[in-house]
């Protein structure tokens, strides 16, 4: 059991590291965010379909599963559009720190979905994260739109993480990933059709094709399958916590790739330290809190 959990933790962190690199690709790929995500999910869906053909595995699912997967795919697609748009109107660092608020949203939403009481420690954690984000808002007013988009993207990430943690109990990770990528592709295509966005935004630079294939196969299809798969052993909140290492990986990579373009104000780093520090300390504090509650329960007379 513990070996399985350890393996899943390692897979989860590898996935998060790969996701940290997507922000870099978001800057390097020249097409607009909407078109970028359209290419991304299309390549990912095709990659997974080829995988099923090679493995000679069936892609048959129930009608109920199809509806669930396609709707969830729409949420995933919208999350990615907002994520990349946030990067393009601000910086990788700003977007990734805002994305770490997924912990706050998951702490509040998961108990509601599971009809459980929200713990006081979760509320306190949320308040501290909000203070950190407020600091970033205050000092990085030039990136206000990017901050807002990043926070909304985090909210959507929390929703589909919780949904996927339930879907994986009755389905396989590759199938769920395939249909969610297909769903994202369908919803984005419909939006582009209605808004006449099948336009020059789809034209690729020579370097874009390579980066898009890397984004669609390794950073999306493979990473998304791994992320969904680990949910068989790990809770949505555990996944959300590990996902909060993405800003650290991403910010380091951004500084390596883009140097001074990613350097921010002291206020930003103060807010980032508050947010990321809270997120990283949370598992330790939460465990201690749960142990204390359990010991108090045992000490009570029957």
Query: Using one digit for the tens of pLDDT, what is the confidence trace for 224-273?
Result: 788 777 877 777 667 766 766 777 788 888 888 887 766 777 888 888 88
Q: Report the C-alpha gap between 277 and 239 in whole angstroms.
A: 17
Give residue 148's pLDDT band: very low, low, confident or very high (50, 70, 90): very high
Provide φ and ψ at 228, rounded to 5°.
Answer: -70, -40
Q: How far apart are the two ends of the chain, measured CA to CA in Å?
A: 32
Residue-level pLDDT at 294: 60
Residue-level pLDDT at 23: 87
Percent of the chain topping pLDDT 70:
91
Residue-level pLDDT at 10: 82
Higher pLDDT, 257 or 179: 179
Confidence check: pLDDT of 6 > 70: no
Closest CA to 107 of 149, 72, 158: 158
Give residue 213's pLDDT band: very low, low, confident or very high (50, 70, 90): very high
Q: Report the C-alpha gap between 84 and 75 in whole angstroms.
A: 14
Percent of the chain topping pLDDT 90:
35
Degrees, nearest 5: CA angle 83-225-276: 45
Question: 74-83, 131-140, 244-253: which has the highest mean pLDDT?
Answer: 74-83
Confidence check: pLDDT of 2 > 50: no
Which tokens is 147 given? Answer: 């901050």
Average pLDDT of the segment spanning 175-185: 94
Q: Report the C-alpha gap between 37 and 17 in whole angstroms.
A: 19
Average pLDDT of the segment spanning 26-37: 93
Which tokens is 181 given? Answer: 């990528």
Is the separation of the CB atoms in 93 and 239 below 8 Å? no
Q: Report the C-alpha gap between 84 and 52 in whole angstroms.
A: 29
Please tell me the total count of domains within the chain. Answer: 1
CA 31 to chain centre: 21
Residue-level pLDDT at 258: 82
Q: At what angle do helices 144-167 and 236-243 cross, to 10 degrees?
A: 150
Residue-level pLDDT at 1: 41
CA 207 to chain centre: 25
Confidence check: pLDDT of 53 > 90: yes
Average pLDDT of the segment spanning 48-65: 92
Confidence check: pLDDT of 4 > 50: no
Residue-level pLDDT at 267: 83
Q: What is the mean pLDDT of the chain?
A: 85
Is the separation of the CB atoms in 102 and 154 below 8 Å? yes
Residue range 280-295, pLDDT digits in tens: 777 677 777 677 776 7
Residue-level pLDDT at 276: 81
The domain containing residue 197 runs over which residues?
2-299
Residue-level pLDDT at 230: 81
């Amino acid at each position: 059991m513990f070996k399985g959990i350890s393996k899943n933790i390692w897979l989860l962190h590898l996935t998060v590291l790969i996701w940290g690199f997507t922000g870099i690709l978001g800057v390097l790929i020249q097409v607009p965010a909407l078109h970028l995500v359209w290419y991304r999910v299309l390549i990912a869906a095709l990659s997974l379909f080829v995988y099923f053909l090679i493995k000679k595995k069936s892609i048959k699912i129930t009608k109920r599963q199809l509806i669930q997967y396609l709707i969830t795919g729409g949420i995933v697609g919208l999350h990615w559009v907002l994520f990349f748009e946030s990067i393009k109107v601000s910086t990788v660092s700003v977007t990734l720190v805002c994305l770490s608020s997924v912990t706050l949203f998951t702490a509040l939403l998961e108990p509601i979905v599971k009809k459980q009481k929200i713990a006081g420690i979760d509320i306190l954690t949320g308040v501290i994260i909000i203070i950190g984000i407020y600091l970033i808002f205050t000092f990085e007013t030039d990136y206000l739109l990017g901050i807002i988009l990043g926070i909304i993207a985090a909210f959507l990430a929390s929703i589909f993480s919780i949904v996927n943690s339930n879907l994986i109990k009755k389905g396989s990770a590759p199938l769920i990933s395939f249909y969610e990528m297909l769903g994202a592709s369908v919803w984005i295509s419909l939006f582009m059709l209605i808004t006449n966005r099948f336009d020059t935004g789809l034209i690729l630079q020579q370097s874009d094709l390579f980066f898009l294939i890397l984004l669609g196969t390794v950073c999306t299809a493979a990473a998304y399958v791994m992320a969904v798969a680990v949910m068989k052993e790990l809770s949505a909140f555990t996944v959300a916590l590990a996902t909060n290492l993405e800003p650290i990986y991403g910010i380091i990579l951004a500084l390596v790739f883009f140097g001074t373009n990613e350097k921010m104000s002291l206020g930003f780093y103060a807010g980032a330290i508050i947010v990321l520090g809270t997120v990283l300390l949370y598992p330790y504090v939460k465990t201690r809190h749960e142990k204390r509650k359990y010991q108090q329960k045992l000490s009570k007379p029957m």
